[in-house]
Each structure stands twice: as structure tokens, then as C-alpha cells.
Amino acid sequence: MAAASARPASTPEAQEQYMINLAMTLVEKRLREGTASSAETTHFLKLATMKADLEKKKLEEENKLLRAKTETLESAKDSKEMYEHVLKAMAKYNGVGEDDEYDFN
């Protein structure tokens, strides 16, 4: 692998990022050629596992949110039905019959 002839990094952070990029490129080459060390291979397997775990947790949280939304919608429907029942009972108590033209919706 030839050394890059780019100008020197202007900050320590830029130098660190440059070195990380070089290391990643080297490890990628070794993985492709089948010459990566077990430590290099294990590192990326751990990253994949961590990512999979995070994605699984995200899906679980999204499912919780969907269940909560469903419960909220069902509760709103139940409340509406109960409200309509109360209005009809109050109308009946006030002498409004079922045939009267009273619309509570």
C-alpha cells in the first residue's frame, strides 16, 4: 500500500481521522484478501452484532409505540360510545323521545 502524498493534517483531530481512514482501508484490503487477523475480523463481527442489537431494540420500541397508539384509538372510540350513551340517557331524562329530531353528533 503506497503512502498518501496529501499535505499534513492541520489539527490533531484531522490527523487522527486520517490515520483511522488508513487503518480502515488496510483492514478492508486484508479482509478481502483473506489475510485479516482474528482480532481484525472479530472487531467487525462485534460491530455487526451491536448494530443488529440496536436495530432489534429500535423495532421493539416501535412496536410498543404502535401498541400504545392502538390502545389510545380504542380508548377514544370507547369514550365516544360512552359519551353518546350519556347524551341519549340525558335526552330521555329530559323528555326527548327517540323519534324527535335531536342530533347529538
pLDDT digits (tens, 9 = 90+) for 33-84: 999 999 999 998 998 999 999 999 999 999 999 999 999 999 988 888 888 8
Closest CA relative to residue 52, chosen from 13, 98, 44, 39: 44
pLDDT digits (tens, 9 = 90+) for 72-89: 999 988 888 888 888 888
15, 4 Cβ separation under 8 angstroms: no
Chain CA centroid to CA 78, Å? 30
26-27-30-36 Cα dihedral, nearest 10 degrees: 140
pTM of the model: 0.48
Residue 101, pLDDT above cutoff 70: no
